[in-house]
Amino acid sequence: MESNGGEASRLLREIDTLKAAKSDIEHRISILQSQLGEIVDKEETLSSSCSPVPINDSGVRNGLSPEMIYRYSRHLLLPSFGVQGQSKLLKSSILVVGAGGLGSPALLYLSACGIGRLGIVDHDIVELNNLHQQSKASMNRIDLIIQSDKLISGLNYGFDALIIHTEAYISQSKVTSAAAACRAINSTVQIVEHKEALRTSNALEIMNEYDIVVDATDNLPSRYMISDCCVVLGKPLVSGAALGLEGQLTVYNHNGGPCYRCLFPTPPPTSACQRCSDSGVLGVVPGVIGCLQALEAIKIASAAGEPLSGRMLLFDALSARIRVVKLRGRSLQCEACGENAAFTKQLFREFDYEKFTESPLSASPLKLNLLPRSARISSKEYKEKVVNGEAHVLVDVRPEHHFKIVSLPKSLNIPLSSLEGKLLEISSALKGEEQRSGLVSGSGASLYVVCRRGNDSQRAVQYLHKMGLTSAQDVIGGLESWAHDVDPNFPTY
Ligand SMILES: [Zn+2]
């Protein structure tokens, strides 16, 4: 009993000591807050006009609560930003379209810095294979301006550099996940969730509720649609893109600067567009661009500095170079914002952006259907042929660096781009297989073609048929189908 009593009094003493320390810390915080208030007051007196400054309940002369002053003190201490900049931010509203690789860092910084209202639009769900790089974006066509022979322009891709979505949110809406992360960073920001795809049918209503729009989307029709909608509504647009190891950033439709259509009146051919899901992207690249998008949005919202309007920032990760190039100004002939443009809300609602760009608004992978069923074989059927030991050659038409990631046993890698010069190689592989299986020459080793998703394999089979290899068949759905229907342990990428 005695020892229990001794333990209890030791704990009581420790609690008393901690309480005293807590009281000291609280006292110290209140002294610092009051000192901060004085600094801010001085700042205000030096920089403000003669207009009276409102005094809030706590007696601070700037409309910011003590909590806000404490939370945003580092912003307030910036002479070029200060109380005025922060007050404007707190009153502003920003919509981020896309909660992927670009949207994720943008959303985190926008919530941390104290935007008044932050909207998030996305219809996607969180998946494991986009956790490393949470975003979807697309390249603008700056290369068109700088270097017309190299067009790395923008279609959708599904890369995701995950810095906002966690494994706990797999299979949940990206908006739910992103909103939870933003609230966890700053519970004072009003977060508005739009769990839907942005379309012409809802874009005007959604975007009209915000002062500034951040385009963090992943496809070309969305770029045109968002830009046109910003023109119709008179909103500034912060546009970012990332592909591979390069990123781009600009501000459209702001202070008389150009809109997206001014620079790109006609969409690029779809063949000139690359997708991150096909071409790859290093997650930190959209991370950098997304942060810069947040910065541009903050500059516009707080009227600080010089927004990137009429200029474009180009980021080259490999050489660690950042360049800013001047863009063409607003085009008088622009169909959206030009002198005689009659692009109304009604026309916007009726405009078919998918038809205009010949690209889908959703980021779902392309599924071609070029061949009759007789020229195709399912992954399960192919598996049976392998099990039965059927004499055959499997040509994998993916690029070599894809083949290095993963491939089916005994497949022959001949990328689609070099198929034309490799027909002899295929013929001799077929002959070798016939001899190996003891078949009479010409009586038939089968020829199958596979790729990642079953699109390029169809193109390859079309070509092989034309060149006389009429028995060639493609594996429907490619290696993704193999992994889905035959071998769940086969890696997908
Ligand atoms: Zn324009």
Query: Long-range contacts: 477-480, Cβ < 8 Å, 24+?
Result: 477/378, 477/379, 477/453, 478/450, 478/451, 478/452, 478/453, 478/454, 479/406, 479/408, 479/450, 479/451, 479/452, 479/453, 480/452, 480/453, 480/454
- 252: enclosing H helix or E strand: strand 246-252
- 248: enclosing H helix or E strand: strand 246-252
pLDDT, position 19: 83
Provide the residue-wise pLDDT of the chain in tens; the chain has 493 residues: 445 778 888 898 888 888 888 877 877 777 777 677 666 656 555 554 444 444 455 545 567 888 999 999 999 999 999 999 999 999 999 999 999 999 999 999 999 999 999 999 999 888 776 554 443 333 444 433 333 323 233 333 333 456 888 888 888 899 999 999 999 999 999 999 999 999 999 999 999 999 999 999 988 999 999 999 999 999 999 999 998 899 999 999 999 999 999 999 999 876 556 665 667 788 899 999 999 999 999 999 999 999 999 999 999 999 999 999 999 999 999 999 999 888 999 999 999 999 999 888 765 666 788 999 999 999 999 999 999 999 999 999 999 999 999 999 999 999 999 999 999 999 999 999 988 887 665 567 999 999 999 999 999 999 999 999 999 999 999 999 999 999 999 998 8
Distance from the alpha carbon of residue 162 to the mean position of ligand 1, in angstroms: 33
pLDDT, position 281: 82
pLDDT, position 225: 97
Domains of the chain, earliest start first: 2-75 (no CATH), 92-357 (3.40.50.720), 373-486 (3.40.250.10)
**Residue 451 catalytic?**
yes
pLDDT, position 139: 43
pLDDT, position 171: 83
Binding-site residue numbers for Zn(2+) are: 259, 262, 334, 337
Q: Are 346 and 356 in contact (CB under 8 A)?
A: no
pLDDT, position 154: 35
Q: Are 111 and 118 in contact (CB under 8 A)?
A: yes
Distance from the alpha carbon of residue 274 to the mean position of ligand 1, in angstroms: 24
Task: Identify the CA nearest to 101 among candidates 136, 127, 128, 130.
Answer: 136
**Residue 230 catalytic?**
no
Residues with CB under 5 A from ligand 1 (ion): 259, 261-262, 334, 336-337
Binding-site residue numbers are: 101, 122, 150, 218-219, 259, 262, 334, 337
SS3 470: coil
This prediction has a pTM of: 0.70
Q: Which of 113, 182, 276, 291 is catalytic?
A: 276
Distance from the alpha carbon of residue 468 to the mean position of ligand 1, in angstroms: 50
pLDDT, position 22: 82
Distance from the alpha carbon of residue 252 to the mean position of ligand 1, in angstroms: 9
**What tokens were used for 37?**
């208030």
**What tokens were used for 193?**
């969730």
Q: How far is CA 59 from the centre of its chain?
A: 44
Task: Kindly report the length of the chain.
Answer: 493
The tokens 């894809």 sit on which residue?
A: 402
Q: Are 433 and 445 in contact (CB under 8 A)?
A: yes
Query: Long-range contacts: 9-15, Cβ < 8 Å, 24+?
Result: none
Distance from the alpha carbon of residue 333 to the mean position of ligand 1, in angstroms: 8
Binding-site residue numbers for ATP are: 101, 122, 150, 218-219
**What tokens were used for 293?**
């998008």
Q: How far is CA 446 from the centre of its chain?
A: 42
